[in-house]
Structure 1
Amino acid sequence: MQDVSSIDTSTTLFGRNYPVPFGLAPSAMQKLAGGEGPRESVPLIKRAEAAGYEALVLTVDTPVLRNRINERKTPLVLPPGLHLSNLSPPPHSSQTERKPTANRLLMDARTGKKLTPSSSRRVAMKIILKGIMTPEDALLAVEHGADAIVVSNHGGRQLDEVCSTLEALPAIHSALATNVSERGKRNSIPVIFDGGVRHGADVLEALAMGADFVLLGRPVLWGLGYKGQEGVESVIHILERELTKTMALTGVAEVEGIGKEYIGVKDTSMGGFGVSKL
């Protein structure tokens, strides 16, 4: 009997209001799906800051690439004319294979300069750490001055044994939660959720489990491959409609009102995982 005649899906992140509580996740090699892909951006940080970008997302869960058996059997080779713009393409070659890319990333991880979010950082942009999967790392991110974190396991492509992001989210939220209003617990810094979001119900589940914002990865690439920009816009519209209907059917009219009372958690007393359900 809740009044859901008007559903408000808007939310606020870093002081800005957005019509929906989800956005597009960082993803590489978008030209393989379709469209023009991201603009080349080397050197990334200075150019991004000069162009007016307000936040920098650092992936922190990939110091090396894992042993990807399928790619050992069939290496990923970019088509002619494509290369990773943040890495120099091989001399006299228009193709970049996964193996030299992995070696380059390993070399950079061992010898490259570290950019740490701290009070002495040289960039004015907000620093967002992507790849946080434990409450301990979430607290370290806060301690070192990160402006937000992304709970992400790299699409499940890095460490096979890692838990899902939805399983990791509640403990991270508990570690960062502070009682700031009568509406309940809010995170001390924004907690952004990534991984497995395919429907509007997935967005609501993540918000109910403690996320402040949600990112879409693969669905965006599917839309891009289907019909370029129009396809991506269609994905966003579908998710917005699904979220609106899911909120109405669960009896919550505003994103701010979404809490853990809107989901049930499987009994874990017998040693099972706490899988959330609407």
Structure 2
Amino acid sequence: MLFTAEMFKMYQNYASYKHWQFEVLEYCHSDLGGLRHAVASVSGPETYKHMKYEGGVHRVQRIPKTEKQGRTHTSTMTVAILPQPTEIDMTINSKDLRIETKRASGAGGQHVNTTDSAVRILHIPTGVAAECQQERSQLTNREKAMQMLRAKLYSMKLEEQNNQRQYARKIQIGTKGRSEKIRTYNFPQDRITDHRIGKSFHDLRTFMMGEKLLDEMVEDLKGLADSESLLELLEQSASKQQNEQRHQ
């Protein structure tokens, strides 16, 4: 949970580094100052194009502050990146929604209050739900919950299309198994390794600042995805030509 909080801060810093807007939609603290789970909306030029390669399981190896024997512990956290749809991309029928309000809950933070401001929206046909209690205003929470719900439904629609077209790329979000680690953050050895491109960086603390080093890693991942896409197009073109020659 402490690592999850550091990762969330890294992405927040990365958004600032790229001059994007970063809006916290949900932030659930743990008792020890860590983070159980959080949701944020990132907007700006080419945000999804850059961020989609961060989706997957991130593994951390380090000696926790609570460890008395000096042993290195290994744990993981998961990042999901969903593209935010526009009004044109996704229409949701209001008859398909069930909206519930309740009192915000938490560990006594500033957002906990005595009014029914927390909002949960359920999309009945799919069973997909989104909840927001970050703001004091019920209306604002409803808007943010709707934003999250639309992103989830849009992601499901995209995945369905990808499966139909058989364009599932191993490098992209949603195509890797949840147990497969995409990146390891090894604190004792001061090393970050991305397992998809087989590349390691040193200076972990600078990387976790979410600036130049993270941007370099993202650019390398984009480069690999672009070359894989090009190879796929060339293979499809060659296969099409072979089929045409057979039928001649």
Q: Work out whether the TM-score is over 0.5.
A: no
**TM-score normalized with structure 1 length:** 0.26
Q: Which has the larger radius of gyration?
A: 2
* TM-score, with length taken from structure 2: 0.28
Larger RCO (CA within 8 A; separation ≥ 6): 1
* Larger strand percent: 2
